[in-house]
Structure 1
């Protein structure tokens, strides 16, 4: 026995030596940033080169996106950011979601017949909530950054002042929204200078926005929420018939919340709590799916199970989720493995569950015109940040002299229970507006961590945000790299309407027929339904970064659906 034991111990020596010679690295070998615009990614890289950390870079990326992506986000909107502080090991969710003005009671959004007035909910002064993004930039810089706020904002200020080329998505979006935007003098001055509307290739300059960013950098919170900028914002909204007050701006506060955490296979997943609906939905879906070997299943069976998990999570989203400061959210129950097991037991292995058997009503959405960026730095700090102005170019309203394009997030509230919003979907009391309340969101910034890999991911895409992040997590779990995850074809089910929506190549024609035989309604692009590649009907703009601890390498993935996006890796000197 002693001889056998000696042999066993000797056999362990090479393994121990190998483990010691290849220890798990304590820190990434540099920094990686992926965002929806190359100028924003470069701004973050430049700030890190100047001695900033991931949080300083996040401020730079966010502010630059606010300048170069007015179609999607900006100082007049809000965001939800997930941070990991490597020194303390702490994860924190920073809630910079917009809030409802006190005057914006549900009756203000009804016409003379008592019906919801979509124009008032989606365009102009009544559609705008009190912005949260400027306060978030100040909060993150002051509490987590290393550099002065003014330094992190410098790239965005320079681009706003000197301009950048108008790209196709920006020009096309403006043509769609121009009639509404041209109603407002402040907006016309920015988007139709000298009476000439912007077009592809023009150099787009925003001198007023540069001044607003400069004031924010020098004065912090007071530079936006008090003083001249605040006065211009209130005056601009009220001149168009809205009803904001200086006190509402001065009273806005960023909130820090505990993220949602759960285990999926070998991954620790950290993600967004309410006022986002994403984290609870992710926890439900992934814990329903955990016992299945999805990679080994035939395509139709795999899609069936994933769709059934989506169906159940989105049903719960409708009834239980809202601003946790106003609504009691049963988070512990909804994210428990026992609850997921109960939901799993209701899934028939080869038959769709009709959504009308899961009683309820449709779910409210977050618009696709949102943006996301992901960051890891050389210390191991991480940021997953999603921000938005809601619909295309938000409310369309820029209060004169500010350069700030305001959001139209009020449409994300259930303004009239049971009445469809801009996306043909409905909400109920949990998401009804009240003074200071935050509207429900689908934004789902997420971290994944295993023994070998750390990943940061998120995306815009309306209510599809959650299912895109779900498919991204499943992709990483199956061994895909960051760029492969960003490019994954996507499919979606949100309980009601009771249909699977899919991009080209996401579901094969053969699998679609099998799913239909199971009782699913499958909506494929016309070309894909014939077995072809399809030509349109794509969504999202997923941005992700990955640290592979085994090889100690960094990689970024930028969604190929949006050519303006870029992922960059900055090696450690």
Structure 2
């Protein structure tokens, strides 16, 4: 296997010894994990080496990331996990998204002048939805794994109790959120020792979080949602001005949802359904582009068509999508080739469509405050999981006595219709807040499956997740390797604001940029975004390749 050094971050591949009964004809006989942190990747690989499958490994990776990458995910947050079981081809998305508390009060998120109260929606317990990750991890272990939950949580517990040295990205994000974290004594005591942001070389130990994870490992998710931990969470949240009650936690349920599936030529694209907006938007974009032969047009024309497809997909995302348990969505229409043909007919080959000319829709900088990992095991099981606490270090609020850092996902609702959230996304009534409702997300864990090759991919990055994953899929279809996919420069259009954000070199050369501007696209250079993690599988040779985003700065990569 060719080396990915030095492009690949925190990616390990190795031969696995598995019992004969677990092997299948379709499996690669090897396993690959790509995640945002070396300790998480190693945890997943160890679990598979100990006899677990990709789903056990997913529990280990997600829980370890909750410990070592709390700026991006945690058991106080939630996830979408797209899985494919090799034994029977079952594909399902595990929805462990957060939910709004029953006593949600829209007035809490609006200032006297009717504008969004940003402090209430992104800082402290008023910004926190009911966490889904503990229930989701227990669900995956029970329904799809081979090992007990206790085994898969063991690496995370060890790192929480024994400590580890946070990387530069952790410390940088901690510094940015330190003012908010300092508001809450339990948060400051854990994250700001001595009242200051720690320096490189600090050993971060989380004994309270270790104890919480140990209780979950021993007694399952009920210990988090109905036991002493739940009581501590509610007491802490209400004591700091939040409105959780015990029933909010006790009534939380994991949902299994049918993935979004579209065909693009010989390729089968599988992605996340609502309450993710990613799969619908990605499917819509592929359907629009299916009417063009992108291989026969020049680079500027190709990018023009792709950007116009993004614009229309995000318009529909903002207009129609929400929690499927609360709103009816015209998914059949949005994913129809006939509907795509109508959208395609509105695209001029020589001119960009101003976003405000697209009818019937309401009118910051993306970061890496979410995390994604991809897994393929020796049996051919696939996992794409994107988990989050929303913005860096979520709400900044740690519930005293639990070590649980809570999310700030309430900001992902359309708290004020027509007003943008932290990622500049605008929502409609479909994503209005309601008790028990799941907020719309851009998380897009996905598979691309062709006659000879398979990819498992995803990324953090707020609203840019959708376009990152889409561009990664196009690159994979074009034959690029996992390392090339994660490294390629990115561009993004989300309908409003009417700009095309671009990393340096995203369009190849200055001539192509000028040609796009001549068509009416407003290009907006911006620094790098995302932290994509990709695993690919060559079905003919059995070769696996895994790569993490070189934009990350957490340290060296390793391939075995």
**Above 0.5 in TM-score?**
yes
- Give the root-mean-square deviation of aligned CA atoms: 1.8
Q: How far did residue 113 of structure 1 move?
A: 3.8
For the residue of structure 2 that corresponds to 1:159, the secondary structure is helix
Residue 298, structure 1, aligned to residue 298, structure 2 = yes
For the residue of structure 2 that corresponds to 1:157, the secondary structure is helix
Q: How far did residue 292 of structure 1 move?
A: 2.6
Alignment of 1:342-357 (within 5 A): 342-357=342-357
For the residue of structure 2 that corresponds to 1:379, the secondary structure is coil
Equivalent residue number for residue 20 of structure 1: none
For the residue of structure 2 that corresponds to 1:249, the secondary structure is helix
Q: What are structure 2's unaligned runs of at least 5 residues?
A: 1-23
The verdict on how the C-alpha distance between 1:367 and 1:220 changes in structure 2, with shifts beyond 3 A counting, is farther
Aligned partners of 1:41 and 1:566 also within 8 Å: no
Residue by residue over 1:445-474, the C-alpha shift from the partner in whole angstroms, topping out at 9 and shown as x without a partner, is 101111101110111111111111111110
Aligned counterparts of 1:129 and 1:510: Cα–Cα separation in 2: 47
Equivalent residue number for residue 12 of structure 1: none
**Deviation larger for 284-293 or 208-217:** 284-293
Equivalent residue number for residue 59 of structure 1: 59
Equivalent residue number for residue 191 of structure 1: 191
**Deviation larger for 390-399 or 112-121:** 112-121
Aligned counterparts of 2:462 and 2:302: Cα–Cα separation in 1: 24
Aligned counterparts of 2:364 and 2:515: Cα–Cα separation in 1: 30
Equivalent residue number for residue 519 of structure 1: 520
Q: What are structure 1's unaligned runs of at least 5 residues?
A: 1-23, 526-536
Equivalent residue number for residue 388 of structure 1: 388
**Deviation larger for 515-524 or 125-134:** 515-524
TM-score using structure 1 length: 0.91
Residue 500, structure 1, aligned to residue 490, structure 2 = no
For the residue of structure 2 that corresponds to 1:551, the secondary structure is coil
Residue by residue over 1:306-348, the C-alpha shift from the partner in whole angstroms, topping out at 9 and shown as x without a partner, is 0000011000001110000001011111111111111111111
The verdict on how the C-alpha distance between 1:359 and 1:365 changes in structure 2, with shifts beyond 3 A counting, is farther
Aligned counterparts of 1:89 and 1:566: Cα–Cα separation in 2: 35
TM-score using structure 2 length: 0.93
Aligned partners of 1:123 and 1:396 also within 8 Å: yes
Q: How far did residue 487 of structure 1 move?
A: 1.0
The verdict on how the C-alpha distance between 1:162 and 1:437 changes in structure 2, with shifts beyond 3 A counting, is same
Aligned counterparts of 1:306 and 1:252: Cα–Cα separation in 2: 39
Rg larger in structure: 1
For the residue of structure 2 that corresponds to 1:343, the secondary structure is helix
Aligned partners of 1:287 and 1:337 also within 8 Å: yes
Aligned counterparts of 2:27 and 2:229: Cα–Cα separation in 1: 41
Aligned partners of 1:365 and 1:442 also within 8 Å: no
The verdict on how the C-alpha distance between 1:324 and 1:432 changes in structure 2, with shifts beyond 3 A counting, is same
Q: How far did residue 215 of structure 1 move?
A: 0.6
Aligned partners of 2:81 and 2:445 also within 8 Å: yes
Equivalent residue number for residue 556 of structure 1: 546
Residue 32, structure 1, aligned to residue 22, structure 2 = no
Residue by residue over 1:216-243, the C-alpha shift from the partner in whole angstroms, topping out at 9 and shown as x without a partner, is 1101011211211111111110110111
Equivalent residue number for residue 166 of structure 2: 166
Residue 270, structure 1, aligned to residue 270, structure 2 = yes
Aligned partners of 2:425 and 2:463 also within 8 Å: no
* Equivalenced residues, count: 536
Aligned counterparts of 2:556 and 2:80: Cα–Cα separation in 1: 21
Equivalent residue number for residue 151 of structure 1: 151
The verdict on how the C-alpha distance between 1:423 and 1:449 changes in structure 2, with shifts beyond 3 A counting, is closer
Aligned counterparts of 1:543 and 1:563: Cα–Cα separation in 2: 14
Equivalent residue number for residue 538 of structure 1: 528
Equivalent residue number for residue 427 of structure 2: 427
Residue by residue over 1:97-128, the C-alpha shift from the partner in whole angstroms, topping out at 9 and shown as x without a partner, is 00001122211212334432110111001100
Aligned partners of 1:56 and 1:141 also within 8 Å: yes
Aligned counterparts of 1:243 and 1:201: Cα–Cα separation in 2: 38
Residue by residue over 1:494-543, the C-alpha shift from the partner in whole angstroms, topping out at 9 and shown as x without a partner, is 11111111001102221111111111111125xxxxxxxxxxx0001110
